[in-house]
Structure 1
Amino acid sequence: MSAPERIPPRGLTALDLLAEGELTVRGQVREASNAVLFCTVAHGGERADCVYKPVAGEQPLWDFPDGTLAEREVAAYAVSEATGWDLVPPTVLRDGPYGPGMVQLWIEPDPSPPPLLALVEGGTAGPGWKAVGPAETGDGRAALLVHADDARLRRLAVLDAVINNGDRKGGHLLPAPGGRLYAIDHGVTFHVDDKLRTLLWGWAGEPLPDEVLPVLEALGEGLAPGEPLESRLSALLTAAELDALRARVRELAGTARHPHPSGAWPPIPWPPV
């Protein structure tokens, strides 16, 4: 199974392959709440594995307009790409065997990565870990949910705050060979209300790393009317959602701190993993 670094050859990019290749459905990811199809995509003698989420397979949500999750996934990729952090695998919106939908490059995870999440009995996060909140072990004992104090996760926490991710679970983190970290499942993003729900609250209230402020400045510039990023996102999001995105970028840059939970919603998604 192919990671982005293994495509292209001969000038064929991952996005070209995903957008123009022939999709063949190989199976279904059964655990997902929406239709998630495992596919191969082939074009110009090249082939890769990918995920296809048709709009027709999206389950209605009370707080998001019907049939918009695929567009939000593509918008999350566009913002991730604009940061230069490339945390979201290449993702396109295209027609497929079951109609229009999102197609994303399949990432084969590292089979034995260092842990990013843990439950710690005793109530204290040790060195190299950040506390999220109380939890229970499988046998009902009290524990503390922690995540790694990892620069890749911290970038992801910033990206999630920017795109207003309402569902950052542990199972959405994909450590890949070579130390890369990818994140998937961005359908419930870009809402106009604060919907941020995540397992990555360990930096809440802390100053943003120095590298983040120039990224936020560049994002703000890219969201100006007529800029390539703004034009790309305006085809995927509503004008109100774009305005809310601009406001979140300005607020993060202004406070220069990781946000706290709003208190309007449960801060951690369920199930958390």
Structure 2
Amino acid sequence: MPAPERLPAPGVNTTGEREVLLAKGELTVVGRISGASNAVLLCTVEHGGTSIDCVYKPVKGERPLWDFPDGNLARREVAAYLISEATGWGLVPPTVLRDGPYGEGMVQQWIDSGGAAGTGGSGSSPDADGLLALVDGEEAGEGWKPVALADTGEGRTALLVHADDPRLRRLAVLDAVINNGDRKGGHLLAAPDGRLYGIDHGVTFHVEDKLRTLLWGWAGEPLTDEARGVLADLQRQIAAGAPLATRLAELITPAELAAVRARVARLLRTGEHPKPSGQWPSIPWPPV
């Protein structure tokens, strides 16, 4: 029997084809990804002679969170993917909810990253190929947006900055919509084809403002015309009775869905990127 064909890089085949492969393919566990707080399994999924690598997060492997008592993190990851697809920005890898070797869980296409996203060392100059950096002084520099001063030890501080990159800016808008409480540097994947993906969206959709992110560089700035148009279209897609709203209602609670609608409406009303609420730490820990 010939070996299964490997899919080309994301963007060559349609998203729908990858969703079908992830949902219907035979899931084989290859190993466990260490360092994650919940069970994260590296797998292959094969269907119809085609195979890709993927990540499988079984619900049984989730650690309970006191502030997310309703539902499970896997369903929130799928909901985040659906919102991302609705924007047309494709910022989240194809993600489905399905049964697997350890029960129901989230299955998401593995994205090979060139390792561009990450933080440089204290005093390093911003890397032109990177998305995050630590720089000396209090000025971000051209092409970069300041986030916060960081303690680097021994009484030294450095300025945490992120690139003034339209891909990151779109992701900041998506995070504001889904109320992402955990946008770390390690959750940014810059693919070799130039696309940017965000991963790990389990801590999302809370009814309270829990936005914690490294992408505060545009806080208080006007939304782009593109973002306003996308949000206006998204508002129609999540209205009661719309197909996307029906799908989301299967994944998050009615109160959480109402909160999504309220956040989109607020973004359109203010026309600005949100600012830290001051009620929670604005940056996740650890940040990378």
CA separation of 1:140/1:36 partners in 2, compared to 1, >3 Å: closer, same or farther?
farther
Uncovered stretches (5+) of structure 1, i.e. residues with no partner: none
Q: In 1, are the aligned partners of 2:92 and 2:198 still within 8 Å (CA)?
A: yes
Aligned counterpart in structure 1 of residue 227 of structure 2, from 188, 191, 212? 212
User: Which residue pairs with 1:110 in the alignment?
Assistant: 114
Local SS of the residue matching 2:225: coil
Identity of aligned residues (%): 69
User: Which residue pairs with 1:39 in the alignment?
Assistant: 43
Comparing 107-116 and 22-31, the one that deviates more: 107-116
Distance, in Å, in 1 between the alignment partners of 2:161 and 2:239 is: 37
Uncovered stretches (5+) of structure 2, i.e. residues with no partner: 1-5, 118-128
Report how far residue 4 of structure 1 moved.
2.6
Matched positions, count: 271
User: Which residue pairs with 1:179 in the alignment?
Assistant: 194
What TM-score comes out, normalization by structure 1 length?
0.96
Q: In 2, are the aligned partners of 1:58 and 1:67 still within 8 Å (CA)?
A: no
Distance, in Å, in 2 between the alignment partners of 1:140 and 1:232 is: 51
Q: Does 2:170 correspond to 1:155?
A: yes
CA offsets per residue over residues 30-55 of structure 1, 9 Å max, x none? 11000000000000000000000000
CA offsets per residue over residues 114-146 of structure 1, 9 Å max, x none? 110011111111000000011023655111111
User: Which residue pairs with 2:10 in the alignment?
Assistant: 4
Q: In 2, are the aligned partners of 1:4 and 1:90 still within 8 Å (CA)?
A: no
Matches within 5 A, 1:1-273: 3-7=9-13, 13-65=17-69, 68-111=72-115, 114-137=129-152, 140-273=155-288
Report how far residue 29 of structure 1 moved.
0.6
Distance, in Å, in 1 between the alignment partners of 2:33 and 2:191 is: 19
Report how far residue 67 of structure 1 moved.
5.1
Distance, in Å, in 1 between the alignment partners of 2:116 and 2:199 is: 19
Local SS of the residue matching 1:187: coil
CA separation of 1:266/1:6 partners in 2, compared to 1, >3 Å: closer, same or farther?
same
Report how far residue 6 of structure 1 moved.
4.8
Distance, in Å, in 2 between the alignment partners of 1:159 and 1:214 is: 13
Local SS of the residue matching 1:190: coil
Report how far residue 224 of structure 1 moved.
1.1
Report how far residue 178 of structure 1 moved.
1.9
What TM-score comes out, normalization by structure 2 length?
0.91
Q: Alpha carbon RMSD of aligned pairs, Å? A: 1.6
Distance, in Å, in 2 between the alignment partners of 1:211 and 1:139 is: 44
Stretches (4+) displaced over 4 A: none
User: Which residue pairs with 2:120 in the alignment?
Assistant: none
Local SS of the residue matching 1:53: strand
Q: In 1, are the aligned partners of 2:212 and 2:283 still within 8 Å (CA)?
A: yes
CA offsets per residue over residues 154-186 of structure 1, 9 Å max, x none? 000000000000000000000001210001000
Report how far residue 111 of structure 1 moved.
4.7
CA separation of 1:270/1:232 partners in 2, compared to 1, >3 Å: closer, same or farther?
same
Local SS of the residue matching 1:137: strand
Distance, in Å, in 1 between the alignment partners of 2:154 and 2:194 is: 33
